Amino acid sequence: MEPPSYEEASLHPPVLTAEGFNSPPPPSYYATISSPSTPPPTYGEAVTAQTDPFPVLSRPSARNNEDIIHSHTQVGTSSARGSRPAVIVTQPVPVPIMLSYLTDQPGLVRCQYCHKVVTTQVTYLPGKGAWCMCAILSLMGLICGFCLIPLMIRGLQDAYHACPECGNNLHVFKR
């Protein structure tokens, strides 16, 4: 059986079901939105409304300062009452990286010649990438110095890492 054509379907009214009789009419376009019965709280009321908004992050409560003990920060206690214990804060020891992981930035390495942990000194010199770009630009007709621009761009230069203590070359990062 074929569905009715558009003309035949428009001649008959739509079939109403039980759900169709119970649906409310759509709201009026010009209906006003009612304002809330009470105004919003002020900033001071909103901030002080909660006594402890972050209970996990709050400080532990104790009778006095001597009852608070942090085992990972406490070094020793003094005999005088009211004085605080001395706290020693240390930073982690820097870990040198392997020479093959050096990039164009200075890095912390152990020198293979003097065996000291040093931050490398980096010298930038034009490498193959810079000279290839220079040749391509000159073939395209950019002469009169424009073809020399790639020789000054640090992203196209090779990085030569040297030890600041003994002066020996440690690694070359090539582009």
CA 47 from centroid of its chain's CA atoms:
30
Q: What is the distance between the alpha carbons of residues 25 and 35, in angstroms, rounded to a whole number?
A: 23
Q: Containing domain of residue 114, as a range?
A: 99-173
Half-sphere exposure of 13 (CA within 13 A, CB side): 3
| Cβ-based neighbours of 82, under 8 Å, separated by 6 or more | 65
Asked if residue 4 is part of any domain, the answer here is: no
Task: Please report the DSSP string for 75-131 in residue order.
Answer: -B--SSTTPPPB----PPPP-PPPGGG--SS--EEE-TTT--EEEPEEEEEE-HHHH
Name residue 26's amino acid: P
Q: How many domains does the chain have?
A: 1
Using alpha carbons, list the distances in angstroms from residue 150 to 123, 124, 158, 174.
17, 13, 12, 15
Contact 106, 121 (CB under 8 A): yes
Asked if residue 136 is part of any domain, the answer here is: yes
Asked if residue 162 is part of any domain, the answer here is: yes
**Residue 154 in 3-state DSSP?**
helix
Under DSSP, the state recorded for 49 is S
pLDDT of residue 122: 93
- Tokens 């990085």 sit on residue: 159
pLDDT of residue 62: 56
Which regions of the chain are under pLDDT 50? 67-78
Question: Residues 159-168: pLDDT tens digits?
Answer: 999 999 998 9
pLDDT of residue 89: 81
pLDDT of residue 44: 78
Under DSSP, the state recorded for 53 is S
Asked if residue 80 is part of any domain, the answer here is: no
| Cβ-based neighbours of 101, under 8 Å, separated by 6 or more | 107
pLDDT of residue 159: 92
